[in-house]
Amino acid sequence: MIKNIGFIGLGKMGLPMAKNLLEKGYNVFGADVSENALEEHRASGGHTGNIQDWIHQVQCIILMLPSSVIVNKILEEIIAVSTSGNQTNQDALMIIDMSSSYPADTRKNHKKLEQYNIGFIDAPVSGGVKKAVDGTLTIMAGGRAIHFEKCKRLLEAMGSNISLVGPSGSGHLIKAINNYLSATHLLASCEAVQLLENFGVEPEKAIHVINQSTGRSGSTEYKFPNFILTEAYNSGFSLELIKKDIGMANQLFKDANAATSLPQFIYQRFSEASSALDKEADHTEINKFVSTYLLQRGILNDENEKTVPGGSDSGIDVRPGSLR
């Protein structure tokens, strides 16, 4: 039975997830490069220390890290430390990678860990900081059913929508595709609402109508009202991270020889935004970037009743890639 947990990666998502585990009665040993995060974890009742200090006390280790590169490095350290000395737990060690990792790396890690009798599932999340705090994350798991069942109760302490979606790597694959779709919806919504605003439609009214119609999405129903229309831009998920996920999805489409250029176009737009905006920009700030190119082109001017540059009679190319 899982009671003691190692949690590596106490960032904006990891810290509230670890806190929910503590509140559900688990003993959580946290690790992070940020001393502030460690202090906050201790203040919530958690333990801290180097992996070597607690690895033989835990039955499960959760990873919530920024990239596959870091995940791969940490797993090598876990293998080295866990195989040195005698583990006091009767059950084999389990590892849950809740990061947004590359599916191909995940499969390699699964096979490598099996050689050391270490169980492994990938279980990335969706829902943002708010749902991490509430413990209502959507969790999409990949791996063996026996390992998933072993960890299910633990996952239920952090999420309310939990599914085993397929073999190892499937969770990370669907997470990358989900974030690609989310980014696509967000970019399209920002362009559409700014076009409507330029025509004289108030953004709040536009969003209200769209949310009662078939054009609605998570972006219009949640991100616009909470982070964009309010100009708060504080969803807790950075532009840099969603760009990474879109790039991952774009590469997956390329690897599959998929006949579509849309993933490349979306990745290009978010890459441009990442270069133009602040390094710490929230991903909803893509709306600010949209305004730098979309509204440079005019539409019908009601005052002088003529079409200004960018209108339907202007002859300007408005195909994807031309709005700059």
pTM of the complete model: 0.83
85 pLDDT band, cuts 50/70/90, is low
Q: Please give the average per-residue pLDDT across 154-174, as a whole number.
A: 97
Question: Which one from 19, 150, 175, 223 is the annotated catalytic residue?
Answer: 175
51 pLDDT band, cuts 50/70/90, is very high
86 pLDDT band, cuts 50/70/90, is low
**Strand partners of residue 119:** 94
Distances, alpha carbon 28 to alpha carbons 70, 74, 122, 147, 311, in Å: 21, 18, 19, 20, 59
Distances, alpha carbon 112 to alpha carbons 70, 91, 105, 108, 322, in Å: 16, 19, 10, 6, 47
Q: Please give the average per-residue pLDDT across 232-237, as a whole number.
A: 93
In the chain, where are the structural domains located? 4-166, 173-307
Q: Residue 28 contacts by C-beta under 8 Å, 6 or more apart in sequence?
A: 5, 6, 7, 18, 21, 22, 41, 46, 47
CATH superfamily of 4-166: NAD(P)-binding Rossmann-like Domain (3.40.50.720)
What's 173-307's CATH class? Answer: mainly alpha
How far is 120 from 172, CA to CA, in rounded Å? Answer: 13
pLDDT at 322: 38
197 pLDDT band, cuts 50/70/90, is very high
The DSSP line for 194-213 is: HHHHHHT--HHHHHHHHHTS
Rg (CA), the chain: 23
Measured over the CA atoms of residue 2, residue 8, residue 10 and residue 13, the dihedral's sign is negative
Percentage with pLDDT > 90 across the chain? 84
Per DSSP, 178 falls in state H
The pairing of strands 300-301 and 137-143 is unpaired
Q: In the predicted model, is pLDDT for residue 316 greater than 60? A: no
User: Active site includes 175?
Assistant: yes
Q: Which residue has the higher pLDDT, 75 or 323?
A: 75
Structure tokens at 142: 């990949």
C-alpha 228 chain-centroid distance: 18
pLDDT at 83: 84
Nearest Cα neighbor of 105 from 66, 69, 64 is 69
pLDDT at 304: 40
